[in-house]
Amino acid sequence: MKDIIAADLMTKEDVTALILIAKKAKKLTWEGIAETIGMSPVYTHSACMGMNAFPMDKAEALVAALDLPSEAAEVLAESPTKVFAQTVPTDPCIYRFYEIVGVYGPTLKALIHEKFGDGIMSAIDFDMSVERIENPKGDRVEVKMSGKYLQYNAW
């Protein structure tokens, strides 16, 4: 009964806090955590932050790797409720992605429409990677995104 009550009361925000505490205490990286559980760093971080759900076996592997309470696995496997803030974030790194979409969003849309037709790139059937590219003028951040093309339906 205690496990049922604890799992029912634990939220995704609670589990995220426990993950961040354990990550810091164990001096881990997202790449290292992802490798341990056999997932990509992008998806691992997103699910740890409550924006995606882990398959139960990966949730259990994460709980074991970080020594989290067993109830956390059930919470990590729950489907998320994605709520996005309407205000522009003030964190400089995150803000730059808003800036990129603000400046290049219409260009990306136009090029996708030219190459594929009237549709979108899925953010559900989606892969992303982040790499460091050495450059004598200053290292570069390479973000690769790949999403399934979804044509708009006329109805």
Catalytic residue numbers, as ranges = 96, 99, 122
C-beta of residue 42 within 8 angstroms of C-beta of residue 130: yes
Query: Three-state SS for 151?
Result: strand
Q: Alpha-carbon distance 19 to 5, whole Å?
A: 20
- Please state the length of the chain: 155
C-beta of residue 33 within 8 angstroms of C-beta of residue 24: no
Which helix (H) or strand (E) covers residue 125, if one does? strand 119-133
Question: Could you give the residue ranges of the DSSP H alpha helices within the chain?
Answer: 2-9, 12-26, 30-37, 41-48, 56-66, 71-77, 92-116
> 77: closest CA among 63, 88, 89?
63
